[in-house]
Structure 1
Amino acid sequence: MATLKILFIGDVVGGPGRKVVSQLLPRLIPRWGIGLVVCNAENAAGGSGLTLRCHEELVDAGVDVMTMGDHVYRKDEIHQIFDRTDRVLRPANLPPDAPGPELALVQARDGTSAAVFSVLGRTFMKPVDCPFRAADRVLGLIGSSVPVVLVDVHAEATSDKQLLGRYLDGRVSAVLGTHTHVATADERILSGGTAFQCDVGMTGPHDGILGRRYDRVLTATLTSVPTHFDVAVHEPRLNGALVSVDPSSGRAVSIHRVSIGPEDALRVLNDSPDQPADPSAQE
């Protein structure tokens, strides 16, 4: 059975995150046979928000759709991005008057029709509309003609994400979590055929605290004096999930964590025979 492989890249943080995507993604797409690339880009510009230049870098690398989260409006240029493309998405459970598209309907590289949208969680986050009812509403807009649907749940609490995964099980292809920047080891296929992972992790510098310089975060924590949390620099890593989907039914066949650190990245860039294999190659 020919499956559609979807690479979902976790929160891209700052210049180091964009660089590792730009370096690795053009090589991974043909080698792994990736048909659709989605990434969370709400931290791509200096660690918060998205600018035109950052958007162009990610598009040039091969990203097809970008989801955003609670930092969606952090950079004013997001409004220009919304004017230019319908493939950068604001969360669907923001108020109806919030600017930006909430749903992307796209064709994968093999011609498969796919839909992507995101919702925000409500625990330990700013007040937003109900993510469950928002998901129901967007699925009503998609209808049954597009079986492949990916949902980014941008939330703090793992229980919020697990509940949404169970709620949408059998109705979407994948529910994948972002926001905490820490990958979880709970990837699985739910009983209804939906791929799930609480958080796919962060793409960017891992020598800091969630992508920020740990000395700045530690100083602010110890002194209670606010300071700017600069983006860290070292140990860039591409984290995400590779989901294989039956394009006819929309049911997920497999889900694999993706984590490419500096050593593996060098193997990819140097065409080493020991470079990371397609995680789904053993299916």
Structure 2
Amino acid sequence: MNILILGDIYGRPGRKAVKEKLPQLITQYQIDFTIVNGENASGGNGLTTKNAKELLNQPIDVVTMGNHVWQQKEFLETIEDFPQIIRPLNYPEPCPGKGYGIFECRLKNDEIKKIAVVNLSGQIFMPALDNPFNRISPIMDELKNSADLVLIDFHAEATSEKIAFGYFMDGFATAVYGTHTHVQTADERILPLGTAYITDIGMTGPLDGVIGVDREIILETMLTKRPKRFETATGAVQINGIMLEIDEIENKVIRITRLYETIEENKK
């Protein structure tokens, strides 16, 4: 069984890259289940209802989110319409949407695997949500009893917090992968108790900007210390993510592989 997970989709270039390349990646790597992070998919700042529908018209099974989940105010009202979209579990309740879901994946031999996908937000240098370590603990038994696999998108800034959470979940989660920083890390591995881990899977969007934003705008703000409206970068586009090869009998990761590709220049 093969699972493809793509890093933060950034703006129109990221959405276009997914539309053009995802079917090819699924065929090339014989992918059975696909997850993307969509919290930057609308201009780098949240997810509109229109863009949510656009993503889910692609061969995407689950969309996870992050700290920008509510930046498009309409999404507070419409997230409930999309059971495939998961927001961070550790938002204080009551909160629209859901922090995890159980999804079915039919394999080529017609076997059904149940996959739990969990989204959590870190606390260090991030909005002050509930403690992610404490928030997941009460539902661990439910997740283990309901699903064959547990995949966790840990949306966080600090490397130390991500690594610590990976060890906290080692032996429980099938995989813990980081999102948010938009820069792919080279530390993919299988932890001692069998959980696949990587600190950040990177982003799917502009390569020639500064984590998705036009580089000239970022340089100007850093030089002048004056705010300026961010605009999505143009130019080459990158597709970042990971692939998980799963032992279908043991339900454990055999191999975690980074995906990094670039595609031709993508205009606005």
Matches within 5 A, 1:136-147: 136-147=137-148
8 Å Cα contact 1:147-1:172 kept in structure 2: no
Using the size of structure 2 for normalisation, the TM-score is 0.93
Partner AA of 1:36 in structure 2: F
Report the alpha carbon displacement of residue 80 of structure 1 after superposing the two structures with TM: 4.3
CA RMSD in angstroms, aligned pairs only: 1.5
Separation (CA, whole Å) in 2 of partners of 1:255 and 1:27? 20
Partner AA of 1:21 in structure 2: V
Structure 2: gaps (5+ residues): none
Aligned to 2:115: 114
* Greater Cα shift, 20-29 or 131-140: 131-140
Q: Does 1:55 align with 2:52?
A: yes
The secondary structure found in structure 2 opposite 1:257 is strand
Report the alpha carbon displacement of residue 147 of structure 1 after superposing the two structures with TM: 2.3
Aligned to 1:217: 218
Separation (CA, whole Å) in 2 of partners of 1:238 and 1:112? 27
Q: Does 1:45 align with 2:46?
A: no
Report Cα offsets for 1:223-273 as digits up to 9, x if no partner.
11111110111111110000112234331111000011116x9xxxxxxxx
Aligned to 2:246: 245
Say which of 1, 8, 11 aligns to 2:8: 11
Report the alpha carbon displacement of residue 81 of structure 1 after superposing the two structures with TM: 3.6
Separation (CA, whole Å) in 1 of partners of 2:235 and 2:224? 25
Q: Does 1:86 align with 2:87?
A: no
Give the structure with the larger strand fraction.
2
Separation (CA, whole Å) in 1 of partners of 2:23 and 2:58? 6
Report the alpha carbon displacement of residue 118 of structure 1 after superposing the two structures with TM: 1.0
The secondary structure found in structure 1 opposite 2:9 is coil
Q: Does 1:30 align with 2:27?
A: yes
8 Å Cα contact 1:173-1:245 kept in structure 2: no
Say which of 85, 90, 93 aligns to 1:96: 93
Say which of 63, 72, 77 aligns to 1:75: 72
Q: Does 1:200 align with 2:201?
A: yes
Separation (CA, whole Å) in 1 of partners of 2:204 and 2:251? 27
Separation (CA, whole Å) in 2 of partners of 1:203 and 1:137? 33
The secondary structure found in structure 1 opposite 2:99 is coil
Separation (CA, whole Å) in 1 of partners of 2:86 and 2:142? 15
Using the size of structure 1 for normalisation, the TM-score is 0.89
Equivalent pairs counted in the alignment come to: 261
Relative to structure 1, is the Cα distance of residues 81 and 243 closer, same or farther in structure 2, using a 3 angstrom cutoff? Answer: farther
Separation (CA, whole Å) in 2 of partners of 1:34 and 1:18? 19
8 Å Cα contact 1:147-1:248 kept in structure 2: no
Separation (CA, whole Å) in 2 of partners of 1:228 and 1:180? 20
Report the alpha carbon displacement of residue 184 of structure 1 after superposing the two structures with TM: 0.3
Structure 1: gaps (5+ residues): 266-283
Separation (CA, whole Å) in 2 of partners of 1:154 and 1:228? 24
Separation (CA, whole Å) in 1 of partners of 2:139 and 2:51? 27
